[in-house]
Homo-oligomer: A and B are copies of this chain.
Amino acid sequence: MEFLPLLRELASSYQAFEKFSAPHVKSMNLTSPQFDVIASLANQPAMTCKELGEKTLITKGTLTGIIDRLVIKEIVERISNADDGRSQKIQLTAKGQEIFAHAFPRHMQHLALAFNQLSAAEMLNLSSALKKLRVAMEQHTAL
C-alpha cells in the first residue's frame, strides 16, 4: 500500500483542477462538459456523437443530455447524416462559434495562470509519469 499517498495526491490534484477550472467556466454561463464539447467542435467539420464522445471522454448516454441542453441554448445543432441513417452530425451554430471565440481564449488564459508555473520540462515529466500510470491502469480495465 505504498501507493496510497500517490492515490491521494491524484484525487486531490484532480479535485483542485475542478475547483480551479469549473467556476471560471461557470462565470461564462457554461458547464465544464459544455465547454469541452464546444472546444471539441470548434474549427472542425461537423462530427458524430461517437467521435465527440471519444474526444471529450463523455459516454454516449451522458452526451445526449449535454447536447440536448446545448441545442436549447442554440449553441450546437444536430444535422442528419445522408450517409448513415443511424447517426447525425453535430456542429456549432454561428452563435456557438461566437461563444467559443469569446470563452476559449479567456479560459486558456485562466488555466495558464496555474499551468505556466511549471517549466516545459516539468510539464513533460508530469505528462509522461501520468501516462505510465494510465497505461498500467488501462491494462487492467475491461474494454
Residues of chain A having any CB pair with chain B under 8 Å: 1-3, 5-7, 9-17, 19-20, 23, 57, 108, 110-118, 120, 122-123, 125-127, 129-134, 136-142
CB within 8 A of A112: which of B3, B19, B118?
A: B3
Smallest CB separation, A95 vs chain B (Å): 24
Number of copies of this chain that the complex holds? 2
B123 touches A126 (CB 8 A): no
9 nearest CB pairs, A to B: A3-B115, A20-B137, A117-B136, A126-B129, A114-B136, A114-B137, A13-B134, A13-B130, A16-B134
B127 touches A132 (CB 8 A): no
Separation of A112 and B133 alpha carbons in the complex (Å): 11
